């Protein structure tokens, strides 16, 4: 069993290019993958997405990649947009002429946005700044970093999953003890309930007389049947046994555990609604609190 939450980081470098990849995952009802790559490596997104999707059947996985080129690789990665430079020069020349100013020098023009751009992909692939070049040396580094970060993420999710199993087992044991406590308290609760009902019935019969006895007896029987929670306690035992069995299995268990946690809460709500005994209600309130903690933890399970 694995947690849906985790973080992984990996680096890869070569040829003056350094790649850093961070992968993180959070809770989500379904599998959802988000990939963030530098524009020059956009062609690698499908491959990176496949790598990320293969690591998770449930949860939102976010992969972020940054690429840095230094030294000679960075110099090779500089690209001059001559068309944009010409556009800037022509318009600035007209504006300068109308204003009686000198023509801007090349140094100023080179600092304008978009004229000189860094292209790490071009640096690593000998200046080829195309999506196809992403399969070259720099692209290999990117995918290596992505795989490393995803492996680290998966390892963390596995460790967190093992911790979650221990937490859920403890919570299940607490719920099981509470259910048995409620079951043990139930016979005395029935006696108290019947005693109160008998007292009210005697008072009612005294007012109704012989004609109302039959109807009052039927009402008493129906009241006792409505207040019986034996079946709910049995179902709670069954649900908790299924939880223990599920925790012993591997794979993606989150949806099944979430379903069982809802069933446990449903049975507890029914018992609370049917039972009027203060002692049993007190026990049920404690069980509801533990069941809510159990479900909150289950939300982290893949």
pLDDT of res. 129: 42
Query: How high is the pLDDT of residue 217?
Result: 57
C-alpha span between 58 and 38 (Å, rounded): 26
pLDDT of residue 208: 60
Q: How far apart are CA 138 and CA 121, in angstroms?
A: 6
- Let me know: does 231 contact 275? Beta carbons within 8 Å: no
Q: Which fold has domain 6-73+127-158?
A: Ribosomal Protein S5; domain 2 (3.30.230)
Task: Give residue 116's pLDDT.
Answer: 66
Q: Which residue has tokens 């009052």? A: 216
CB atoms within 10 A of CB 82: 9
Residue 140 neighbours by CB distance under 10 Å = 16
pLDDT given at position 136 = 67
CATH 3.30.230 domain locations along the chain: 6-73+127-158
Domain with CATH 1.20.120 in the chain: 160-298
Residue 113 main-chain phi, psi, to 5 deg: -55, 130
Cα distance between residue 109 and residue 89, in whole Å: 7
Tens digit of each residue's pLDDT, the chain (302 residues)? 899 999 999 999 987 788 999 999 999 888 999 999 988 788 899 999 999 999 988 899 999 999 886 645 444 555 667 788 888 888 888 888 888 777 777 777 777 777 766 555 454 444 444 444 444 678 899 999 999 999 999 999 999 999 999 999 999 999 999 999 999 988 888 787 777 766 666 666 666 655 555 555 555 555 555 567 889 999 999 999 999 999 988 778 899 999 999 999 999 999 988 887 788 889 999 999 999 999 999 999 98
Residue 246 and residue 261 in contact, taking contact as beta carbons nearer than 8 Å: no
Task: Please provide residue 214's backbone torsions phi and psi, each rounded to the nearest 5 degrees.
Answer: -60, -45
Cα 154 to Cα 135: distance, rounded to the nearest angstrom: 25
Could you tell me the two tokens for 104? 């801007």
Euclidean distance between CA atoms 120 and 38, whole angstroms: 9
Instruction: Give residue 114's pLDDT.
Output: 75
CATH of domain 160-298: 1.20.120
- In angstroms, the Cα distances linking 168 to 91, 123, 191, 235, 295 are 69, 51, 35, 19, 9
């Amino acid at each position: 069993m694995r947690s849906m939450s985790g973080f992984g980081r990996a680096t890869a470098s070569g040829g003056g290019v350094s790649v850093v990849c961070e992968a993180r995952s959070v809770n989500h009802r379904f599998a959802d993958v988000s990939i963030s790559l530098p524009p020059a490596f956009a062609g690698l997104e499908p491959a990176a997405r496949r790598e990320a999707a293969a690591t998770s059947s449930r949860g939102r996985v976010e992969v972020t990649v940054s690429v840095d080129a230094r030294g000679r690789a960075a110099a090779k990665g500089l690209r001059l947009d001559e068309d944009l430079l010409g556009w800037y020069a022509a318009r600035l020349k007209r504006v300068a002429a109308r204003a009686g100013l000198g023509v801007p020098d090349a140094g100023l023009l080179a600092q304008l946005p978009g004229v000189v751009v860094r292209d790490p992909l071009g640096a690593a692939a000998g200046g080829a700044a195309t999506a196809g070049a992403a399969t070259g040396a720099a692209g290999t580094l990117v995918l290596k970093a992505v795989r490393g970060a995803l492996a680290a993420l998966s390892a963390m999710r596995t460790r967190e999953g093992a911790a979650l199993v221990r937490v859920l087992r403890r919570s299940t044991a607490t719920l099981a003890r509470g259910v048995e406590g409620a079951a043990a308290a139930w016979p005395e609760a029935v006696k108290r309930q019947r005693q109160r009902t008998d007292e009210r019935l005697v008072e009612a019969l005294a007012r109704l007389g012989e004609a109302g006895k039959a109807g009052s007896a039927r009402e008493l029987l129906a009241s006792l049947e409505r207040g019986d929670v034996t079946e709910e306690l049995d179902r709670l035992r069954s649900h908790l046994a299924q939880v223990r069995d599920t925790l012993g299995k591997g794979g993606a268990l989150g949806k099944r555990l979430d379903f069982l946690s809802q069933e446990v809460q449903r049975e507890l709500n029914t018992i609370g609604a049917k039972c009027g005994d203060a002692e049993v209600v007190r026990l049920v309130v404690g069980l509801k609190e533990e069941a809510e903690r159990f479900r909150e933890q289950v939300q982290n399970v893949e």
